[in-house]
Structure 1
Amino acid sequence: MSASTRSSASPALSEKLRREAISVPALRAMARRTLPRPVFDFSDGGAEDEHTLRRNEAAFARYAFLPRPINGAPVRDQSVKLFGMDLSMPVMIGPTGLAGLFWPGAEKLAVRAANNAGTAYCASHGSVCTLEDIAAAGGPNRMMQVFVYRDRGFTRELAERAAAAGFKALVLTVDNQLHGRRDRDLRNGFTIPPRFDVSGLLAMATKLPWLMRMGPELPTLTFGNYRRENGPSDIRTLAARMHDMFDPAMNWSDVDELRRIWKGPLILKGVLHPQEAAEAVAHGVDGVIVSNHGGRQLDHAVSSLEALPGIVRAVDGRIPVLLDGGIRRGGDVVKAIALGASACLIARPYLWALAVGGEAGVAHVLELFRDEIDRTMGLLGVTELSQLNSDLLMRLDAIGQTA
């Protein structure tokens, strides 16, 4: 069965999404029931004791809305223009490696769903298919993730391939040069691809729909962007090679070199310190993504939302500031924009949706965000994103107390 065939949701699946997947938390619960535990925890877990993972979500609850409904908001417009892309909503799909573990042909289905929703998709360096395959499947609003590798020639190669494939922006991720320790994966014995030992088989046997979908795909799963002609293509060999490719000696001269190579918008992802954001502007970067890698790298790092106001002040309107991490509701997106973000990226919510419904699931989760953003804007008395600001928020130290 081809990926394109799998992408079409059956009427029963579409009805199940409408009936049960009423929110991102509901999608998470459905994904937990759908996926083998090691695969679910791979998407759900964070670094070490997961303090930052929890902090990312909890930070949004520290802000309460101060609505002004008498302003009137009969029609709301949540469109935004970023990096030469016209987007119908301020939510984009962020880069997530190994999405192909959740549904066959995952990246191609997700970029298509994003395109149909009028928003952008950022391809992961660790996608199962190649960036060229993703470009062929999706519309114009595509970004490509890259890293600084020990072999700087490979960094250049990915940038040049992205340019040739028509990607609009390059997203340089800077917080993954050393791999975080993810205790859930270690406890589960998670491997890429999942192991077929006794415990692995038992975990998969209890999730028959996932196993029937993914079983034929697992033996040939690979990292498409890292395959070399006449080189190894099995995912274990490539995963081991990738682990040693990232260069912790990366510095601003590497950003300068990438800025010279890449002529389109260059975005820095993984920025938490205001000074680093200011330096990014000085080095010609076109945008920053406030991110702690979804709490999967440095535990006890500040949450993305907590870091956002300082980053916004540091860049002082010179470049767009985006945010990812902990976004589970449209109201979270509205809060981030009110604090100065131009848009947000989602990762886990789209993976959970993918696991539950493939392309239809991704389309569904984007519509959930669109509807929640629209409703929140209307209840706040706001008609367009530019009207969102900190005057519509009250920060709480504790429930019922202002900061």
Structure 2
Amino acid sequence: MKLNNCYSFNDFRKLAKKNLPAPIFHYIDGGSDDEVTLKRNTESFLKCDLVPNILASVGEPDLSTTVFGQKIDMPLFLSPVAMQRLFHHEGDIASAKAAEKFGTFYSMSTMANSSIEEISNMSDGPKMFQIYIHKLKGLTDNLIDRCKSSGFKSMCLTVDTVTAGNRERDHYWGFTTPPKLNIKSILGFMKRPKWTYNYLTHEKFQMANVKNFTKKGTSIAKGVMEY
């Protein structure tokens, strides 16, 4: 299956499963514990009905709306997703370009692999930044100041990370950030040669927005709880 042959959300999911190493696919596809919340959230979309007005003048259809004081061209936007470099070598840059193309929000995760400044320099579209109240002194203020000077007009605060979720699929499939190289993982990566080539030959994996706030660096296994 190719991208041009994807006609539904499930088609995109099948394509991702085909192209990503198993640990990385199950990280983005999975949830915590028995994934009850994930299932309920997914099922809730099936309960939404779009009811058209029949025999009514539509004039000029307009899907635009205003979110956080900014006009966007459609009532959809990209939510923040950490570590997009794992899913595609262009990562956040590709997401920001796509959002700008369709006139909607790109939302950047604190744990993005591209920096606030890098995204600001390549995208003029509406941008939102996802932030935590960090325990590292000065990190929260630093991120806010950088967002202000880089044209991010909106922020969203994540408040549910008092403890990390028990992501059972991650344990089962051996997901780590960045991916560890051992016999098991290397054999898995060999099954996805295109992903492996792009991962090894493009920009180094790092948490670009927080890398200066840890002596250990961010190209090793560190979770958001440590910040």
Q: How does 1:119-198 map to 2 (within 5 A)?
A: 119-151=104-136, 153-198=138-183
CA contact (8 A) 1:112 1:139 kept: no
From 191, 197, 212, the equivalent of 1:228 is: 212
CA contact (8 A) 2:99 2:125 kept: no
Structure 1 portions without partners, runs of 5+: 1-12, 246-403
Secondary structure in structure 1 of the residue aligned to 2:66? strand
From 17, 20, 36, the equivalent of 1:35 is: 20
* RCO higher in structure (CA 8 A, sep ≥6): 1
- Shift in alpha-carbon separation, 1:66–1:229, aligned structure 2, 3 A: closer
CA distance in 2, matches of 1:123, 1:230: 20
- Shift in alpha-carbon separation, 1:66–1:134, aligned structure 2, 3 A: closer
The percentage of aligned residue pairs carrying the same residue is 27
CA distance in 2, matches of 1:168, 1:157: 16
CA contact (8 A) 2:96 2:106 kept: yes
Residue 17 (1) aligns with residue 3 (2): yes
CA distance in 2, matches of 1:185, 1:175: 19
CA contact (8 A) 2:68 2:154 kept: yes
Q: Which structure would you say has the larger Rg? A: 1
- Shift in alpha-carbon separation, 1:230–1:93, aligned structure 2, 3 A: closer
CA contact (8 A) 2:206 2:218 kept: yes
From 32, 37, 49, the equivalent of 1:47 is: 32
Structure 2 portions without partners, runs of 5+: none
Comparing 89-98 with 192-201, greater Cα deviation is found at 192-201
Q: Which amino acid aligns with 2:196?
A: L
From 69, 94, 113, the equivalent of 2:54 is: 69
CA contact (8 A) 1:221 1:235 kept: yes
Q: Which residue of 2 aligns with 1:243?
A: 225
Superposed displacement of residue 24, structure 1: 1.4
Q: Which amino acid aligns with 1:113?
A: A
- Shift in alpha-carbon separation, 1:163–1:222, aligned structure 2, 3 A: same
Secondary structure in structure 2 of the residue aligned to 1:145? strand
- Shift in alpha-carbon separation, 1:64–1:82, aligned structure 2, 3 A: closer
CA contact (8 A) 2:22 2:188 kept: yes
Superposed displacement of residue 65, structure 1: 4.9
Q: Which has the higher strand share?
A: 1
CA contact (8 A) 1:93 1:114 kept: yes
Q: Which residue of 2 aligns with 1:323?
A: none
Q: Which residue of 2 aligns with 1:98?
A: 83
Q: Which residue of 2 aligns with 1:208?
A: 193
Superposed displacement of residue 152, structure 1: 5.1
CA distance in 2, matches of 1:75, 1:147: 41
Instruction: Give the alignment's Cα RMSD to 1 decimal.
Output: 2.1
Give per-residue Cα distances to partners, 1:155-186, cap 9 Å, x unaligned. Answer: 11111111111111111111123211100001
Q: Which amino acid aligns with 1:120?
A: F
CA distance in 1, matches of 2:206, 2:134: 19
Superposed displacement of residue 28, structure 1: 0.6
Q: Which amino acid aligns with 1:209?
A: K
Q: Which residue of 1 aligns with 2:45?
A: 60
Superposed displacement of residue 84, structure 1: 3.0
CA distance in 2, matches of 1:40, 1:26: 14
CA contact (8 A) 1:148 1:155 kept: yes
Residues paired across the two proteins, number? 227
TM-score by length of 2: 0.92
Q: How does 1:214-293 map to 2 (within 5 A)?
A: 214-217=199-202, 220-228=204-212, 231-236=215-220, 239-240=222-223, 242-245=224-227
Q: Which amino acid aligns with 2:53?
A: R
CA distance in 2, matches of 1:117, 1:157: 30
Q: Which residue of 2 aligns with 1:81?
A: 66
TM-score by length of 1: 0.53
